[in-house]
Amino acid sequence: LLGCFGGTRRSLSTLDTSMTFFQALEKSSAVELYTYLTLILVCVLLYIFSDYLKICALAFRLPGPKSYPIIGNCLDIARKDLITREMAQAYKNYGPLARVWIFVFPMFVVFDPNDLKVILSSKKHTNKSMFYKLLHNFLGRGLITSSGHKWSSHRKLIQPSFNIAILEKFIDTFTDSASFLIDKLPKEETVLNVTEYVNNCVLDILNEAVLGVPVKSVDKKEMEQSPFRQGKVVAPYRITHPWLLFNSIYKLTDAATAELNQKKQLDDFSRKMIRRRREILKTLSPSDRRCLLDFMIEISNENPDFTEDDIIDEACTFMLAVSVYAFEI
């Protein structure tokens, strides 16, 4: 009985406290009531955005390019000479860790190999931000844009294809492409803009190293019309036009239609290259020159989870990411 009476007293005490609180609210003025609600709302928001605020506090302490209120460094991202102008001198100017603002979202750029090792060896820290989704129609879901388990499993499967012995075999590809570049240079001119020639050389190397199409090949004319030589990255345009970050709005634009058509052309062309390399692989000897597509086809044959769509995503990643970076330099 004493226990029951004790529990009853506690219940009555709690009820009295609740009644007292609500009675106090009823007697409070409108200003006091709004003050209470504002304090509660502030506490809830601080709890929800606590991680974001910690990240911002770190970003404010780090060096980085000059940013502007609200827009951050979006204007810099829209410039074509971003890599040449900033990235080449970034380590010298900002040190091993720098920050960039995309509107009110801080991004961190890591240059130190030891820091990169910690990040890349962790499944937790390889989850990509929402801005990487803007590259899905361009690069697919390869090593650059994928996250978590998919990223770690693909990296584990593909990494053996980049050992020293295999990479040394690509030196012949570099030599052939460089010789072809020299032959193409006009001999009579003393002043020459080499940009177009060097860009073509980069694409020739990628065509052979990734897709297996030799520089001096009957298919070279076909490769000159390949979708890997066309199109453009839309992500910087979407970042500098915030309303296009919403897919429901972006998919209504001409840019979205063009990007989807570009993605379809890349997929169709990549599937064609895969079918061609599957046939060639049947006749290749161990001493013959191989390409990255060959290694990924063999990986897919041994690992059914690594599908043809995965091969296309990784091939597009290597072809497009490397060419975009090379063309910016």
| Same domain flag for 92 and 199 | no
For residue 194, being part of any structural domain is answered with yes
The strand pair at 105-110 and 97-102 is best described as antiparallel
For residue 7, being part of any structural domain is answered with no
For residue 5, being part of any structural domain is answered with no
Question: What kind and span of H or E run contains 100?
Answer: strand 97-102
Report the pLDDT value the prediction gives residue 278, as an integer from 0 to 100: 92
| Same domain flag for 197 and 235 | yes
Q: Is 217 left (phi over 0), alpha (psi -120 to 50) or beta?
A: beta
| Same domain flag for 71 and 163 | no
| Average pLDDT over every residue of 147-175 | 83
| Same domain flag for 218 and 253 | yes
Query: In terms of C-beta density within 10 A (0-12 exposed, 13-18 middle, 19 or more buried), how is residue 69 classed?
Result: exposed
Q: CA distances (Å), 227 to each of 114, 125, 259, 291, 297, in order?
A: 37, 33, 12, 19, 21
Question: Please, which residues have CB within 8 angstroms of residue 194's CB and are 6 or more apart in sequence?
Answer: 185
| Same domain flag for 36 and 111 | no
Structure tokens at 42: 């502030």
Report the pLDDT value the prediction gives residue 227, as an integer from 0 to 100: 80
Which of 106, 121, 136 is a domain's end point? 121
| Same domain flag for 157 and 225 | yes
**CA-angle at 171, arms to 166 and 172, nearest 5°:** 110
Question: Please, which residues have CB within 8 angstroms of residue 99's CB and are 6 or more apart in sequence?
Answer: 58, 59, 62, 63, 64, 106, 107, 108, 109
Average pLDDT, the chain: 79
Range of the domain at 33: 28-61
- Which of 2-6, 89-93, 276-280 is modeled with the greatest confidence? 276-280
Q: With a cut of 90, say whether residue 190 has pLDDT above it.
A: no
| Same domain flag for 52 and 173 | no
Cα 120 off chain centre by:
14
Report the pLDDT value the prediction gives residue 25, as an integer from 0 to 100: 54
| Same domain flag for 191 and 53 | no
Report the pLDDT value the prediction gives residue 102, as an integer from 0 to 100: 83
Report the pLDDT value the prediction gives residue 55, as an integer from 0 to 100: 87
For residue 45, being part of any structural domain is answered with yes
Structure tokens at 64: 């980085």
| Same domain flag for 76 and 217 | no
Question: Please, which residues have CB within 8 angstroms of residue 74's CB and are 6 or more apart in sequence?
Answer: 102, 103, 239, 240
| Same domain flag for 81 and 192 | no
Q: With a cut of 80, say whether residue 31 has pLDDT above it.
A: no
d(CA 25, CA 36) in angstroms, rounded, equals 9
For residue 22, being part of any structural domain is answered with no
Q: Total structural domains in the chain?
A: 3
- Which of 185-189, 217-221, 279-283 is modeled with the greatest confidence? 279-283
For residue 135, being part of any structural domain is answered with no
For residue 215, being part of any structural domain is answered with yes
| Same domain flag for 268 and 199 | yes
d(CA 294, CA 277) in angstroms, rounded, equals 7
Report the pLDDT value the prediction gives residue 12, as an integer from 0 to 100: 42
Please state the φ and ψ torsions of residue 265, each to the nearest 5 degrees: -65, -40
Question: Tens digit of pLDDT for each residue in 282-322?
Answer: 888 877 888 889 999 999 999 988 999 999 998 888 887 77
Q: CA distances (Å), 150 to each of 134, 143, 154, 231, 307, in order?
A: 18, 9, 6, 27, 12
**Alpha helices by DSSP H, 215-253:** 220-224, 235-239, 247-250
In contact, 97 and 111? CB cutoff 8 Å:
yes
pTM: 0.71
What's the length of the chain? 329
For residue 159, being part of any structural domain is answered with yes
Which of 18, 44, 61 is a domain's end point? 61
DSSP state of 163: S
Q: With a cut of 80, say whether residue 42 has pLDDT above it.
A: yes
Question: Tens digit of pLDDT for each residue in 84-119?
Answer: 566 667 778 888 888 988 888 888 888 888 988 888
| Same domain flag for 33 and 98 | no
Report the pLDDT value the prediction gives residue 218, as an integer from 0 to 100: 52
Report the pLDDT value the prediction gives residue 189, as an integer from 0 to 100: 67
